[in-house]
Structure 1
Amino acid sequence: MIDAAKRASARTINIIMPYYGYARQERKAAPREPISAKMLADVLTTVGATRVITIDLHAPAIQGFFNIPVDHLTALDLISDYLKEKNIKNPVVVSPDAGRASTAEKLANYLDSPFAIMIKKRPSHNESVITHVIGDVAGQTPIIIEDLIDTGSTIINVVEGLKERGAEDAYVCATHPLFSANALQRLDHPNIREVVVTDSITLPPNRPERFQVLSVAPMLAEATKIICQGGSISTLFKNAGV
């Protein structure tokens, strides 16, 4: 589609990619691994894209893989507004790992709540074991925040780890619902009150009732309008530094 637009003499080609594929392969974690996030950026740029609009990259540094403008939007405001309407009693925002700590801190500030960090180790791919919790979660209602959920195994480990430490049933929030394998069934867990995600990826219609889907369409529409008419993307967010 990019090539067709380029050959039709398009002045600019803006790519709206709510979920940036291969984003988790943004560095070499072992010898002879590819950096696929960089490769995809090179492909999009080489074929003719002039701008990319995406939401909640797995690693914000991926923006630097492009030599064209990248508008990195976030669904954090959307999720925080939804959670505020829930009037959750004794909330504590939980980061499943150290990498999500800054996002958890922002959400905690929006909700005026404390936050905690889970420390985990990965014995193998798509598997994790919770080893420590930094912060008080006993008697609190956890709000777990992630950029994406794949198999759901890490989330379940976090939920069960919090429950063992005296926490109430949790809310699970993520921007990108990959939901591979049997993730939908796994996340239909008795200790999860709700799973809050966006429609950055299409979800099957037969999902369990505890799944709540927030639409990113208005945000993408407003971002596109700003890009076409001129203005600052940062005006879309509560925190102008996003």
Structure 2
Amino acid sequence: MNLSQVISVVYNRFVQLVSTAPKGALSVTGILGLALLVYGYIQLRGGNDNRAEDHRRAQQRERLRAAAAPGPTAGAAAASSPAAQASAAAAACASATPVGRAVAAQLSGVKRVTLSVPGVLLAESTPTQLQESATVRPEAVEVLQEMSRVSDVYLLAHVEDDVGEAVVTGALEAAGLLGSGPGQIRQHHVLCCSTLDGKVPIVRQLEPDLHVDGHPASVDELKRFLPRLLLVREGPAAAGSSQANVGVAASLTAYFGL
């Protein structure tokens, strides 16, 4: 019902009231009629406003749905984005050297790496030895630099105390591995623990795509939780592993075929 129809109905009722009302009641009847006219107008206006508001909200919901819905091209890109983006990032950041290409190919799709440095990056393999000295393997320096170019690398060390931690950190700094430049690892990405068991929860919390370790016990503990592990071990243990997600290599360079 539009406004003219409402006014017509109210007017007819008003005329009927005036014609049948006693003489003394005309003023009251007039007031009632005016009130009915105002009430009818307000009801009609309010209904129109509500319908307009509902229409605006519906249009807004449609716009939001249209903006959120990906097109065919965007959907295909989203489906392949994790692997594609990781591979593209590795190719873009890796150095154009044999080592850089080998590392980028092996770490394709690997976003985060945790590496236990004793016996892998360092010649020393026990906390007692690290109390005295820490020697960075020269052949592993370039490999680690390339790893940090294509992945987020964290270094871990099992040491006895603050002395061992200082020895390890000093050796890494002297080799030029720590810093904020390309191919370097940030200082806060070097983590030390005082027990071998303490290394396991640290690695699990970081949730790496690849963990590299020189200690078989740590690899055995972590193989249930991580998608990919590498045990660096010289001798017969480097021949292979029965676990599908555990690789074995004689050295870090051997793992990348260098």
TM band (smaller chain) = under 0.3
Indicate the structure with greater helix content.
Answer: 2
Instruction: Give the TM-score normalised by the residue count of structure 2.
Output: 0.25
Select the structure of larger CA radius of gyration.
2
What TM-score, normalized to structure 1? 0.26
Which structure carries more strand by proportion? 1
